[in-house]
């Protein structure tokens, strides 16, 4: 079993509570987080990649129903 690589930068821990924690910034994650924030909720959006938008936005895939 291989251990994960050490973090490149220290992780900042936020101890304030959230109303919603969204894991993944794909289309559904971004929409859900944005809507909750507009409704006044405290939202944390967690993404493993250094950019937001998910695979469909960043790799150029287009859903077939939009063609």
Helix (H) / strand (E) element for 34: namely helix 27-38
**pLDDT tens, per residue, the chain with 67 residues:** 666 666 677 667 777 789 999 999 888 899 999 999 999 999 999 888 777 777 665 566 666 655 5
What pLDDT shows up at residue 10? 67
The gap from C-alpha 14 to its chain's centroid, in whole angstroms, comes to 16
Would you kindly state where each structural domain of the chain is located, as residue ranges? 20-56
What pLDDT shows up at residue 2? 67
d(CA 2, CA 60): 32
- Residue labelled with tokens 């109303």: 19
The gap from C-alpha 19 to its chain's centroid, in whole angstroms, comes to 15
Give the tokens for residue 43: 């939202």
Question: Which DSSP symbol is given to 44?
Answer: E
């Amino acid at each position: 079993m291989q251990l994960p690589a050490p973090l490149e930068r220290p992780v900042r821990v936020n101890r304030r509570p959230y109303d919603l924690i969204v894991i993944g910034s794909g289309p559904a994650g971004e929409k859900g987080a944005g809507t909750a924030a507009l409704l006044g909720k405290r939202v944390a959006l967690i993404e493993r990649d250094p950019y937001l938008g998910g695979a469909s936005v960043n790799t150029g895939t287009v859903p077939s129903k939009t063609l």
